[in-house]
């Protein structure tokens, strides 16, 4: 049973999501505001956070950033239909995935189960030494630990999975769709913005936002590859 924290101010949406996810076997705690959600996060220690971006007072975006400052728990954000800017901003703030209102419990349940599987599942075809050195970057696949210049790098689940997938085959070019399927388990209709936003966050944590990235490299017109210095 997974523990899910729902942060949603609309009582109808909140009640419907709680009921649906409980029926799917999840343990649920709900919050009406961002402040309450952050307090619940400390006490409840959820496996996944379902976060509405449109919250009164402290915005969902601020909540997402606050969570990421202290915790790498998976975040699935909830957005209004057609709010493309909110989707991009939310993903760049650290969300791992998103669903669009009206929220269907079975869809949300599938996303929750997928993000939890991604935390534990090894990358296909990546039977390699426990610790790999790529210049100043060291990846411990067995321990799921990453260090850069000797310092640990705190990665959200999607960021870690993306790095593991790319680094398993240095030099190989992956299309965005291939990465959607490998990292997010999304089908052909997945949103490639998930990939681009995650790449931006990963590069930032590896100190690669300025200049030419050494590790997560863009192949224009195709996708991304991992470069091992």
Condensed to tens digits (0 to 9), the pLDDT of residues 189-209 reads 568 889 999 999 999 999 887
Q: Look at residue 211 in the predicted model and tell me its pLDDT.
A: 74
Which residues of the chain register pLDDT less than 70?
81-83, 119-130, 187-190, 229
| Mean pLDDT of the chain, nearest integer | 88
Domains 3-120 and 131-226 share a fold: no
CATH code for the domain defined by 131-226: 1.10.10.10
Under DSSP, the state recorded for 166 is H
Summarised one tens digit per residue, pLDDT across range 120-135 is: 655 544 445 568 899 8
Calpha distance 220→66 (Å, rounded) = 33
For residue 154, what are the contacts with CB-CB under 8 A and spacing of at least 6? 72, 205
Cβ–Cβ under 8 Å, residues 165 and 124: no
DSSP-derived pairing of the beta strands 145-148 and 151-152: antiparallel
Where are the chain's structural domains?
3-120, 131-226
Under 8 Å between Cβ of 155 and 216: no
Alpha carbons 162 and 225: distance in angstroms, whole number: 11
Determine the pLDDT at residue 130: 66
Give CA–CA dist 95/74, Å, rounded.
Answer: 7
Q: Which CATH architecture has domain 3-120?
A: 3-Layer(aba) Sandwich (3.40)
Tally Cβ neighbours within 10 Å of residue 36: 16
Which pLDDT score, from 0 to 100, does residue 125 have?
46
Report field, pTM of the whole predicted structure over 0.75: yes
The residues, ordered by sequence, that sit 6+ positions from 117 with a Cβ below 8 Å of its Cβ are 185
CA 210 to CA 208: how far, in whole Å? 6
Residue 69: DSSP 8-state:
H
């Amino acid at each position: 049973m997974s523990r899910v924290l729902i942060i949603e101010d609309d009582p109808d949406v909140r009640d419907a999501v709680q009921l649906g996810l409980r029926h799917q076997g999840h343990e649920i705690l709900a919050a009406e505001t961002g402040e309450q959600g952050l307090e619940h996060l400390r006490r409840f220690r959820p496996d996944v956070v379902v976060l509405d971006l449109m919250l009164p007072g402290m915005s969902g975006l601020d909540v997402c950033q606050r969570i990421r400052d202290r915790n790498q728990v998976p975040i699935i954000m909830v957005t209004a239909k057609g709010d493309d800017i909110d989707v991009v901003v939310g993903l760049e703030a650290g969300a791992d995935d998103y669903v669009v209102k009206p929220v269907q419990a079975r869809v949300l349940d599938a996303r929750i189960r997928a993000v939890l599987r991604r935390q534990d599942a090894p990358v296909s075809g990546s039977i390699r030494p426990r610790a790999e050195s790529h210049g100043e970057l060291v990846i411990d696949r067995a321990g799921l630990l990453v260090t850069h210049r000797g310092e640990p790098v705190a990665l959200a689940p999607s960021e870690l999975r993306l790095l593991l997938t790319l680094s398993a085959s240095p030099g190989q070019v992956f299309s965005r769709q291939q990465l959607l399927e490998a990292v997010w388990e999304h089908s052909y209709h997945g949103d490639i913005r998930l990939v681009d936003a995650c790449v931006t966050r990963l590069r930032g944590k590896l100190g690669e936002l300025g200049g030419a990235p050494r590790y997560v490299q863009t192949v224009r017109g195709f996708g991304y590859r991992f470069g091992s210095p």
